[in-house]
Structure 1
Amino acid sequence: MGGLYLLDYGAGNVRSLVNAVNRLGYEIEWVKEPGDILKADKVIFPGVGAFGSAMQSLVEKNYAEPLKHFIKSGKPFMGICVGLQTLFERSEENPNVPGLGIIPGTVKLFNKDDNNKAVPHMGWNKVNCLKEIKYNNVQQQKEGKDIHCGIKQDNVYYFIHSYAVPYNEDIKEWILSTTQYGNEIFISSIQKDNVFGTQFHPEKSGYAGLRILKSFLEGRSENISLDDKEIIIKNPIKLPKDKFTKRIIACLDVRTNDQGDLVVTKGDQYDVRERSTNNDFGCGQIRNLGKPVDLARRYFDDGADEITFLNITSFRNCPLTDLPMLQILKLTSETVFVPLTIGGGIRDVIDPDGKFHSALEVAGEYFRSGADKVSIGSDAVYAVEKYLANDKKLSGNTSIETIAHAYGSQAVVISVDPRRIYVNSPEAEPNHHLIKTSFPGPNGEFWCWYQCTVKGGREGRDIDVHQLVTSCEAMGAGEILLNCMDKDGTNSGYDLELIDDVKKAVRIPVIASSGAGKEEHFAEVFDKTNVEAALAAGIFHRQEVPIQNVKNYLRERNILIRSDDSSL
């Protein structure tokens, strides 16, 4: 039978990869039994989550031995992320679980003591191609063979991982490219004979990533003979600073309007209705700023580095029956090839029929529909309250812990909705983390703490942001989406004091949110807080500040930003 096959062992979002292959005009079959691997002409293995879970699943499904046999047969193989890592002998993530052992070496955790970087490595970074072909005649160049498999040093690609294989000269013949993150140089792609793999996700790397998939599918890296050309392998060069870029994220608040249609909305101070004739909030129609799928595609074309959907519709109470929102993810992932995050309703739920669904099950449905990350809000606050009450002992059964264990910490984002509570002195609030502010309160107070809220900001809890983010990091979360109720809808700039305080408290990436009103605000938050990403909604929806304007402004100020063209 033959053909192109996808090896999916049941973890994470593989829908985007299938959509990318289809977008390029190819059909792909799913491996359903071990024999499918052996009869395939080509295999793509997009691993997601933990190394140990991936290998255990391969063994339990009897895929491991057929996969090793396929690779040794000389047929084209492509591994992505954990799919690349499993080719090695072992990983520090799960040291007692052996890998496939195709390549000697160990996958290792990034150095968390390196103050130049957050872990996970999450975002867009450059690669350094080490292999070059020295052609002996022009005819060989015209054949279009490409040892780089479509990878270009001028492009950046999307990484999302905490573990990687450090550069090792002993396996130099395997290394196609390296990437520097902080002070560490790791292997970002491998190529030898029929084996090709990327630590980054080409299906989430825009058109630059699609070109890599196209090169593999067309076989441009296959059968490169050494008879009449020489392969040159260079050494990596350590840079004074890595080429890790800042991310610009477009956020879409999605809910049903009064006519029952799903629309993108945006509120002023969390109110999503237009003003009525008497200028009161909460009485007019739901603010409609566009259709979710169309708007997401526009942002992809405009250069957004990620897109976040916040599900604020009533369906969030039973997300497994939320067919409209799931359909939005499925349709968006067909034409949008950057990471997608979904938030709203990620928790243990009981559907109208009385059936229980765990947060892990809910997240799994979103991942299978096209999401790469899930954002947890109120449920994270409740989980941290229990964690602190239990002397900071992990229970293992919270939504954060279960999803991070199954899909990796990089798949779990914590969405924080805090508001300022002013006090006269630190002694007035000894149980919370306070900051001294340059913006005094209504009665001249110079101290404040940030109270976490739930239920879309409608209810405050006796827990501060510092407690929340540090606890969520300990529970396994991989990223913080930091909103600010005091800044939302003001267009006055991000809350730099809040963001800087949180950035110093955790080692995981932080997304700044709430308050952006002009290009200068993005540069300001990157310069003054060193945050990894900045998010905006209303100004993008209304095209008051186009995404490309933001990127051009940042680029002019020497802030590293991704550029991507739309050609294949």
Structure 2
Amino acid sequence: MAVYLLDYGAGNVRSLVNAVKHLGYDMQVIQSAEDFDKADKIIFPGVGAFSKAVVALQELGYTEPLRRYLAANRPFLGICVGMQCLFEGSEENPEVAGLGVLPGLVRRFSSADKTVPHMGWNGVRFLPEGQRWTGVDTTAETSAYYFVHSFAVPYTADAPVAGVTLAVTDYGNETFVSAVRRGRIFATQFHPEKSGYAGLRLLRTFLTATAGDEGMPATTLAPGSPLATRTRLTKRVIACLDVRANDHGDLVVTKGDQYDVRVAAEDGGHVRNLGKPVDLTHRYFNEGADEICLLNITSFRNSPLADQPMLEVLRRASESVFVPLTIGGGIRDLVDPDGTPRSALEVASIYFRSGADKVSIGGDAVLAAEAYYASGGQCTGTSAIEQIARPYGSQAVVVSIDPRRVYVDSPEAAGAHRANVVQPAQPGPNGETWCWYQCTVHGGREARDLDARQLAVAVEALGAGELLVNCVDQDGTGLGFDHALLRNIRDAVRIPVVASSGAGCAAHFSNVFRVCDVDAALAAGIFHRREVAIAAVKEQLHRDGVPVREAEATL
């Protein structure tokens, strides 16, 4: 069977190729218009802007061959933007027409009652019998699938797309189309290659379907709740791996308190080694982590493009880890040791092609925010955030916020930052009951005259799609997340927020979700040292009524 990948230069297609290979199939890349006639099945993944996908198809000469392929009712699977391109157009780029294979328009989510992008694990619910595939087993297990998008096709019973809608998903007060099927054309708004074993089952079903199945067997999707019950976006539990070279040049996962990753001098002073990066990513996938974050804390001192060991870690991890991978460290404009300039977009692109789904930007985001305020709130398009978000979408850009507390006796004592002063849970060293959060760069070693809330507001305006909020003072304490900081950031932005630093037990995760309404919570050392298990965290969340994805152990 000839399975072809329609790759127009999207972001992370390596994970899809790896997922198909994991299921025992090879996939070739379409390289000419003639390949459409050779294909038995085509998979069209998409990441980022609607216009980038549509225009790229046109420039490659693939638009008409694809239309002919679809008109012939040949097996096709569209994913995310690969699904959106099937429709007539999108609010994201109104000037660009879609393929028009399916009726309807793609529209942006409202952020009035929720964060945008819609990012994380959500369920699907099937439509009434007359509007879904005959024979779907509605008694099957409930599964969650991974979504990451700001635009979707709205669903109502009288919408043009209703006749081809297989499943819908709810987000806030909106219901959107999460799966469509017309004949042997099938498409999902979610990413099956990033949806764990539930997503692998979907891909396997597509790959094994025969013509007699009319494209897809009835067991393709595990149904969600009954139609009357709305789906819910779950809270994410993220495992974070701080990766750096040890004194022998080997990459290891390490952890320290407030960035100090070496043991005491009397114990040898060597870099703490808590495991091998690839081995730990596999372990956390199997233990039910909803995402995995790899942070290169040596920040690629030469060039990320020349850091082959770290790129190899990413490539190998993506071979058998089918949840989202974020990578951070050195995402900025830079110059190679040989004088070759590299743009932040070029750096990010190689990560995406190596298996990353998102990139995390730290210190460079602080400098971009300072430039944003210095220009009177102008977006110049030159920052790393803007460079990457423009083609790949805001959901691909995470900004890591790493502030320290500056304690003051009163809000007025904070000067220019008095509007963003809060009352922390712990008083200052001299009994101060107020503080503001000062942004840092260079691994927390250099402070800037910018507070965390200012940074959050600026990077959201520049196009960041998610914030990873880490209080340096709380790191390694085991006292729980910094609620005062997180509430301050949550109130300032409408994009997803990830809590980091300070988790010491499973209850800390429940507390931060209930008190701060963050979208995800992250931990590192307590998972590495097996002090707290991911399964224990999820059990605690379930007991406390926090929506959480239940990990599935096998295909």
- Fold shared per TM-score above 0.5: yes
Matched residue of 1:177: which SS?
Answer: strand
Q: 1:481 to 1:314 in 2, by over 3 A?
A: closer
| Residue identity opposite 2:361 in structure 1 | I
Aligned to 2:123: 126
For residue 143 of structure 2, the aligned residue among 152, 155, 164 is 155
Determine the C-alpha separation between the residues in 2 that align with 1:516 and 1:436. Answer: 20
Q: 1:560 to 1:401 in 2, by over 3 A?
A: same
Aligned to 1:92: 91
Matches for 1:31-180 after TM superposition, within 5 Å: 31-114=30-113, 117-130=114-127, 132=129, 154-169=142-157, 170-180=160-170
Contact in 2 for aligned 1:126/1:153 (Cα 8 Å): no
Contact in 2 for aligned 1:121/1:161 (Cα 8 Å): yes
1:230-266 per-residue CA deviation (whole Å, 9 max, x = no partner) reads xxxx999465x64110000000000011111110000
Unaligned runs of at least 5 residues, structure 1: 136-144, 226-233
Q: 1:475 to 1:150 in 2, by over 3 A?
A: farther
Matched residue of 2:416: which SS?
Answer: coil
Contact in 2 for aligned 1:109/1:164 (Cα 8 Å): yes
Q: 1:523 to 1:125 in 2, by over 3 A?
A: same
Contact in 2 for aligned 1:146/1:221 (Cα 8 Å): no
Aligned to 2:257: 268
Determine the C-alpha separation between the residues in 1 that align with 2:138 and 2:355. Answer: 25
Determine the C-alpha separation between the residues in 1 that align with 2:139 and 2:100. Answer: 25
Contact in 2 for aligned 1:150/1:211 (Cα 8 Å): no
Matches for 1:180-259 after TM superposition, within 5 Å: 180-219=170-209, 223-224=213-214, 237=227, 239=229, 242-259=231-248
Q: CA deviation at 1:427?
A: 1.8
Contact in 2 for aligned 1:133/1:147 (Cα 8 Å): no
Matched residue of 1:410: which SS?
Answer: helix
Matched residue of 1:185: which SS?
Answer: strand
Q: CA deviation at 1:173?
A: 2.1
Determine the C-alpha separation between the residues in 2 that align with 1:122 and 1:300. Answer: 18
1:180-209 per-residue CA deviation (whole Å, 9 max, x = no partner) reads 001110000001101100000000000000
TM-score with structure 1 setting the length: 0.92
Q: 1:378 to 1:235 in 2, by over 3 A?
A: closer
Determine the C-alpha separation between the residues in 2 that align with 1:354 and 1:9. Answer: 30
Aligned to 1:140: none
Matched residue of 1:334: which SS?
Answer: coil
| Residue identity opposite 1:484 in structure 2 | C
| Residue identity opposite 1:445 in structure 2 | E
Matched residue of 2:104: which SS?
Answer: strand
Contact in 1 for aligned 2:299/2:330 (Cα 8 Å): no
| Residue identity opposite 1:210 in structure 2 | L
Aligned to 1:525: 512
Contact in 1 for aligned 2:197/2:552 (Cα 8 Å): yes
Determine the C-alpha separation between the residues in 1 that align with 2:332 and 2:112. Answer: 33
Q: CA deviation at 1:439?
A: 2.9
| Residue identity opposite 1:192 in structure 2 | R
Determine the C-alpha separation between the residues in 2 that align with 1:521 and 1:235. Answer: 29
Q: CA deviation at 1:446?
A: 2.0
RMSD, matched Cα: 2.3
Q: 1:84 to 1:147 in 2, by over 3 A?
A: farther
1:503-522 per-residue CA deviation (whole Å, 9 max, x = no partner) reads 11100000000000001100
Aligned to 2:220: none
TM-score with structure 2 setting the length: 0.94
1:101-121 per-residue CA deviation (whole Å, 9 max, x = no partner) reads 00110000001112xx21000
Q: CA deviation at 1:425?
A: 1.8
* Alignment size in residue pairs: 544
Contact in 2 for aligned 1:374/1:412 (Cα 8 Å): yes
Determine the C-alpha separation between the residues in 1 that align with 2:210 and 2:136. Answer: 9
Determine the C-alpha separation between the residues in 1 that align with 2:130 and 2:153. Answer: 24
* Percent of residue pairs identical: 58
Q: CA deviation at 1:130?
A: 1.7
